[in-house]
């Protein structure tokens, strides 16, 4: 790699490790809250769960299409913890492992770093809350307190890619700042 490439990577590395902004702290708190909520729901409802619980819902969100052992909730929680750890640690990876759609020039590096940080933390917050909802839903339906996930799950699954594309588009525009 040439000298300019090394300087670009070093600057990106520094930008990715800047102190968290207020929005980033909020997203981290939401993500941690989603993870803690899922863990708390399982701990609080474990003793009252029947032998078979819903573990998968149709895309429409109305009725479960698969029921399984309550131990499957622990598998889901394990995945949730792993995703949380992966997305938390991903900002510590070497910057050359990051894939980006445009060349990073000197003036674009702070925007791209801010976009990368926001997208990773926003994705983590979204996924932790979605998984907490799924854990709540499985336990509530199993105990007869709910019938299905409702109609908000489908729009939320579309909202995440729209949000990610919007943030990356804003980062690519030279006159915008994500701060």
Measure the CA–CA gap between 138 and 147, rounded to whole angstroms.
Answer: 10
**Domains of the chain by residue range:** 3-172
Q: Is 3 left (phi over 0), alpha (psi -120 to 50) or beta?
A: alpha
Measure the CA–CA gap between 124 and 120, rounded to whole angstroms.
Answer: 6
Q: Going by C-beta distance under 8 Å and a sequence separation of 6 or more, which residues neighbour residue 135?
A: 38, 41, 42, 73, 76, 77
Confidence at residue 60, expressed as pLDDT on a 0 to 100 scale: 62
Number of helices and strands in the chain (H, E): 5, 2
| CB of 76 closer than 8 Å to CB of 134 | yes
Q: Give the count of beta carbons closer than 10 Å to the beta carbon of residue 150.
A: 13
pLDDT at residue 31 is higher than 90: yes
Measure the CA–CA gap between 41 and 23, rounded to whole angstroms.
Answer: 27
pTM of this structure: 0.80
pLDDT tens digits, 92-116: 887 777 766 666 777 778 888 888 8
CA end-to-end distance (rounded Å), the chain: 31
pLDDT at residue 27 is higher than 70: yes
Work out the pLDDT band at 151, boundaries 50, 70, 90: low
pLDDT tens digits, 40-98: 999 999 999 888 888 777 666 667 777 788 898 899 999 999 999 999 998 888 777 77
């Amino acid at each position: 790699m040439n000298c300019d490439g090394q300087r670009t990577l070093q600057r990106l590395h520094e930008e990715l490790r800047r102190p968290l902004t207020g929005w980033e702290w909020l997203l981290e708190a939401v993500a941690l809250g989603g993870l803690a909520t899922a863990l708390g729901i399982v701990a609080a409802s474990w003793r009252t769960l029947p032998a078979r619980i819903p573990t998968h819902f149709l895309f429409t969100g109305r009725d479960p299409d698969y029921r399984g052992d309550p131990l499957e909730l622990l598998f889901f929680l394990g995945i949730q913890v792993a995703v949380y750890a992966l997305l938390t640690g991903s900002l510590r990876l070497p910057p050359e492992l990051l894939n980006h759609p445009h060349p990073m020039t000197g003036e674009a590096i702070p925007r791209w770093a801010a976009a990368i940080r926001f997208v990773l933390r926003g994705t983590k917050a979204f996924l932790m809350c979605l998984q907490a909802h799924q854990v709540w839903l499985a336990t509530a339906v199993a105990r007869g307190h709910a019938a299905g996930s409702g109609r908000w799950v489908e729009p939320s699954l579309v909202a995440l890619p729209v949000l990610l594309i919007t943030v990356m588009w804003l980062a690519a525009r030279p006159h915008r700042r994500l701060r």
